Amino acid sequence: MTVSARFSKLDGNIIRQVDSRFLLEPSWTSFTTDITIGWDEPGQWQSGHYRIDLTIDGEAIGHKLFVIESHD
């Protein structure tokens, strides 16, 4: 299966999409993973409102809004 996470600004501009492939065993009753993006140096995210959309094999499974705030 392919799990995709698309990070975007609320205006629709995509920041980055991460696609990760996994092979699941039929006997498994649960599965957990992390999908993150970032930079080597802090401060690369601009303050503002963002959205992450998640899909499994192209089928939408959820989304979440989040905020990056400046602490200047």
pTM of the full predicted structure?
0.79
20: β partners = 3
Q: Residue 21 sits in a domain of what CATH number?
A: 2.60.40
How many Cα atoms are found within 13 Å in the side-chain-facing hemisphere of 32?
0
Domain count, the chain: 1
What's the domain range around 55? 2-68
Q: Any bridge partners for residue 48, and if so which? A: 68
Per-residue pLDDT 10s for the chain (72 aa) are 999 999 999 999 999 999 999 998 999 999 888 888 888 888 888 899 999 999 999 999 999 999 999 876
d(CA 58, CA 42) in angstroms, rounded, equals 32
Residues sharing a CB contact under 8 Å with residue 60, sequence separation 6 or more, in sequence order: 53, 54
